[in-house]
Structure 1
Amino acid sequence: MKHLVAKIHPADNVLVALTDLPIGTPVAAGGRTVTTTAAIPAKHKLTLHALAVGDAVTMYGVLVGRMRQPVPAGGLLTTANIQHATDGYTESQARAPWTAPDVVPWQGRTFQGYHRADGRVGTANHWLVVPLVFCENRNIQVLQEALVDDLGYGRRNSYRPQTQALIELMQAGKSVEEILQADLAGAPDGRAQPRLFEHVDGVHFLTHEGGCGGTRQDAQALCGLLAGYVTHPNVAGATVLSLGCQNAQVSMLKDEIAKRDPHFSKPLLILEQQKIGTEEALISQALRQTFAGLMLANDQRRRPAPLSKLTLGLECGGSDGFSGISANPALGHASDLLVALGGTVILAEFPELCGVEQELVNRSVTPETARRFTSLMKAYGDAAVAAGSGFDMNPSPGNIRDGLITDAMKSAGAARKGGSSPVVAVLDYPELVTQPGLNLLCTPGNDVESTTAEVGSGANIVVFTTGLGTPTGNPVAPVVKVSSNTKLALRMPDIIDLNTGTVIDGEETIEQAGERILDYLVRVASGETEVSAVRHGQEDFIPWKRGVSL
């Protein structure tokens, strides 16, 4: 049964509108009835009782803002009458025991994965072509042109037939108006060339703008991130192009690889342009060696693996006022199930943990873990303020338009992706995840930078919740898109994989939605189900240059 409003936590003094509420609508929640004194759009918040200037606004049981203007009971919260505010936090812990969910139905469940020499298991089998410096981006693109289409990894949906149709219309003397109104018919055509290497899922080219010209710390972080991708369980091997004189030296990359895998044994092909000479010689060698590497990668086969070998990256982007009450808590339940099964979960986006720090401190398994979290959070927040910004500026125009009007409100809902399990480790970008359980990874809230970082830290599958829709993907890890609302799932079915708007619609519980997410992830991890981002060739890769990015 669908309700009109939701009260998330017993201590909350605001409600979430689950549908558009005209002025004068009586709504009941928490044993009280209030009548709307303004039109409340779906996803937005209305006050449960009158609030005066300076009063606290509580959602999810935490402070998410303070009133800057008085609002009567049943009134609409807006950026004009509320401002961002959070409670402080310390390293002191008030720990509570965790009650793990029942995982008996999942015991013995496996997925079909690629077993690597370091003990990790991949959900896919890719080859990487990586530049150590932006100077090599053009050579990377030349290799991409030479390899992708002929090996059968070209774009599946090509719009070239439509371009050809437009050319023909122009050559036939049609006017601009006629061309704009023309029916181009013909859906995008399919991939013409079959895949040559049946057991290699893709060849991916990770161009970037780093490697030189910045600080040595930037180069070190880039090499750490690239090492995370080269050693990633979804990667069979890599071709690396180096110019030779850049800050990000080959030796630096090898050191970072050794940190992550001391016994690294995958094929790693390194070519340095300043040693080899001409472009033709460089590309010829790179093509020959990469083709030979792909032949070796094609020998890999999927074998059963326990669910404890899954490392799940948790991401959200284009969030809305329903994200924190449908998609995120459902993903949180899936996360708790995976942790209880011995798996690994990564919760990142530190600017979107603003206001829930004390809860995460209390969930930390050791004082040292709590201390590292608070230290990274404070350093990040101070850096943002020093740059003339702040976490309070994190919500985007789309977030605000759809009900997330303070960063604390956004963060309190975003953090629910991490479920309720203990925090076993806190990592700084671009460190590798090594401990099973819930890990916190310091990244920006930027969707692509954060997703890029989570995969670099070892996520072999990512779940990305969204309320507004985004095509974001990743070169080596499948990115599963989960909609917070049914309208989005119906409007953008080409990018949404799962819909948890069913929770808002009263069709299933958060727990049922979470179990459905985990079941879907097992099928994706086994290669049985292809997610939309993979199908569209969405391969977003943006290293975080360690400045202020919210």
Structure 2
Amino acid sequence: MERARLSYLQIHPKDNVLVALRDLPKGFVVDFEGKRFALLRDVAAKHKFTLGPMDKDAAVTMYGVLVGRLNEAVEAGELLTTQNLRHAAEDFRLGQRKLEWTRPDVSAFAGRTFNGFHRSNGRVGTANHWLVIPLVFCENRNVLTLKAALEEKLGYRVQTKDYGSEVDELILRYRKGASVEELLGVDLSSARTSSDSKRLFPNVDGVKFLNHDMGCGGTRMDSDALCGLLAGYITHPNVAGATILSLGCQHAQASILRAEIARRDPQFDKPLYIFEQQVEGTEQELMHKAIKATFAGLTLADKQQRQPASLDKLCVGLECGGSDGFSGISANPALGYLSDMLVALGGSVILAEFPELCGVEQELSDRCIDEATAERFMHLMKTYNAKAEADGSGFYMNPSPGNIRDGLITDAIKSAGAAKKGGTSPVVAVVDYPELANSPGLNLLCTPGNDVESTTAEVAAGANVVLFTTGLGTPTGNPIAPVVKLSTNTRTYERMPDIIDLNCGTIIDGEETIAEAAHRILEYVIEVASGRLKPKAVQLGQDDFIPWRRGVSL
């Protein structure tokens, strides 16, 4: 019996399918709660198989909710595939409030603090960055020129491998007449590494140069949203100040940016320098003023120092990408438990990626603190999905090829597991992109499922740390907020140690409970928030930044 429990799992008592926890061969005998049958096909780890015979169009249930319907009749022990299962999810409507939840024991973290940067508006940063941002894509080159002038001189060049030495080796072999096969077989494992130069401003974690392809030429809605997003970054507690480059004639005007900043922080008092190229004239004049202003601003930013802050000053963004069939039973539930812990401690949590909440709308809307909040959530979900369907890409098309290969074969299966990141506490706010979503408690933020677009939005909404679960592996990071990567399985953690920080495969391996993993993760978050640990994305300088165009992006 012990071996059977380690081989497969029923996630919820209502489920009529089981999840393979390891590769199971055809003919493997399943013995589960009085039912005994043999698998009809090989079932790879993370994939699902039926618990009993089922008719065509029968409902398939996982996590206690409808996740699909069968395209054909099947017997017990049949592997679920994209051929025999199609996406299906329950409809949702305004229901009764279900606000009761079990607060986890957080006594181990009572009175704990992290060392952060205290801002005048009461928010606390987990880092201290200076931003250089273009208001329009026309200024991207000038931003890169500033980066070339400032980054290495000030000591902010990220430690990287010097892959030029590998190219030199290939050039040498080629000139000696090496064949294509010989070139492909060259060992390039001995790459040199360049080191960080000493920072001139030790209390400034970085000067971050953000580029994008928006600000003009698109809809006014997109340019206004861009200004809101950039205002979210400028007012973010991890940011000490900013230099803004504008062409002058674009849709995303500096006046709109200032108005968005005032909406988020009416008493905004950070140094902010805005330069318009059409006013300054020559590139040299623009560069001289921008360099002087940025350098002067950095001297002010360097006066900030880390000081203790209570854990209720943490605002954690929850993200998943490269998900697999273990995401919903290891890393995501661990984040759900941690989410409940943070809420119990008075902190803030942001759950986003609305296409990946398809099928769990009823549960989340019932958890909304009042009917108005529930109605806002349902409206955003229906409007978003309707727009997606109008463009030929409804939520049902959300799973990626990698998701499907690793067992997430319908959007509802993927969503039911993704929603586990949000724990069980009440939803205190539902927020549309690109607004703030940092109220104490669980916040729902409307974003796409695209990893970088969603992470970009969560940070603009106030997340000062992002916890990112992945089954397949992803390098995603953010320019100003540390992104902690958590693997859903041990194999990926061991295969990609350069980009993944923590392993939640210990839950699958039976080495750790979900609660124990959540405690371990929160301890790590405190170290990261205090600047004592740098997640892999920070070490690699993985500064991913993609604003969301409100057209369809899943």
TM bucket (normalised to shorter chain) is over 0.9
Alignment counterpart, residue 120 of structure 2, candidates 104, 112, 117: 117
Q: Give the Cα–Cα distance (whole angstroms) in 2 for the partners of residues 98 and 399 of structure 1.
A: 31
Unaligned runs of 5+ residues in structure 1 are none
Q: 2:142 matched to which residue of 1?
A: 139
- Indicate if the aligned counterparts of 1:161 and 1:189 stay in contact, CA closer than 8 A: no
Q: Percent identity?
A: 64
Paired with 2:163 and 2:34, the residues of 1 have a C-alpha distance of 56
Distance 1:480 1:434 in 2: 19
Say if 2:55 is the partner of 1:52. yes
Task: Note the alpha carbon deviations across 1:207-262, whole angstroms, 9 max, x for none.
Answer: 10111111111111000000000000000110000000000000000000000000
Equivalent of 2:82 in 75, 79, 82:
79
Q: What is the RMSD of the two structures over their aligned residues, measured on CA atoms?
A: 1.3
In the TM superposition, what are the counterparts of 1:249-328 in structure 2 within 5 Å? 249-328=253-332
Q: Is 1:66 the counterpart of 2:69 in the alignment?
A: yes
Q: Within 1, Cα distance between the matches of 2:181 and 2:513?
A: 51
Match of 1:468 in 2: 472
Q: For 1:13 and 1:243, how far apart are their aligned partners in 2?
A: 59
| Whole-angstrom distance in 2 between the partners of 1:39 and 1:180 | 36
Closer, same or farther in 2 for the Cα pair 1:272/1:12, shift >3 Å? same
Flag the 1:459–1:30 CA change in 2: closer, same or farther, 3 A. farther
Corresponding position: 1:19 with 2:26:
no
Counterparts of 1:358 and 1:500, CA distance in 2 = 28
What's the counterpart of residue 148 of structure 1?
Answer: 151
Aligned residue type for 2:486: V
Aligned partner (choices 493, 509, 514) of residue 510 of structure 1: 514
Name which of 452, 477, 484 aligns with 2:481. 477
Cα separation, 2, equivalents of 1:508 and 1:34: 30
Match of 2:406 among 398, 402, 409: 402
Aligned equivalent of 1:342: 346
Does structure 2 retain, via aligned residues, the 8 Å contact 1:93–1:361? no
Query: SS in structure 1 opposite 2:546?
Result: coil
Report the count of equivalent residues: 550
* Secondary structure, aligned partner of 1:3: helix
Aligned to 2:218: 214
Check 1:487–1:121 CA distance in 2 against 1; reply closer, same or farther (3 A cut): same
Distance in 1 separating the partners of 2:88 and 2:536: 37
Deviation digits for residues 479-534 of structure 1 (CA, Å, limit 9, x no counterpart):
10000000000111111100000111111111111111111111111111110001
Q: 2:445 aligns with which of 441, 444, 462?
A: 441
Aligned equivalents of 2:39, 2:429: Cα separation in 1: 45
Matches within 5 A, 1:218-233: 218-233=222-237
Residue in 2 that maps onto 1:88? 91
In 2: Cα distance, 1:500 partner to 1:185 partner: 29
- SS in structure 1 at match of 2:61: strand
1:525 aligns with 2:529: yes
Deviation at 1:180, TM superposition (A): 3.4
Pick closer, same or farther for the CA change 1:487–1:434 going to 2, 3 Å: closer
| Aligned mates of 1:337, 1:89 — CA distance in 2 | 28
CA contact (8 A) 1:84 1:408 kept: yes
Cα distance in 1 for partners of 2:369, 2:31 equals 39
Q: Is the 8 A contact 2:350 2:438 kept in 1?
A: no
- Which residue is 1:246 aligned to? 250
Q: What residue ranges of structure 2 are gaps of 5+ in the alignment? A: none
| Conserved? CA contact 2:97–2:368, under 8 Å | no
Seen in structure 2, the aligned counterparts of structure 1 residues 192 and 517 have a Cα distance that, compared at 3 Å, is closer
Once the two structures are superposed, what CA deviation does each residue of 1:238-293 show, in whole Å capped at 9, x if it has no partner? Answer: 00000000000000000000000000011101111000000011111111111111
Please state if 1:379 is matched with 2:383.
Answer: yes
Partner amino acid for 1:163? V
In 1, Cα distance between the equivalents of 2:130 and 2:372? 38
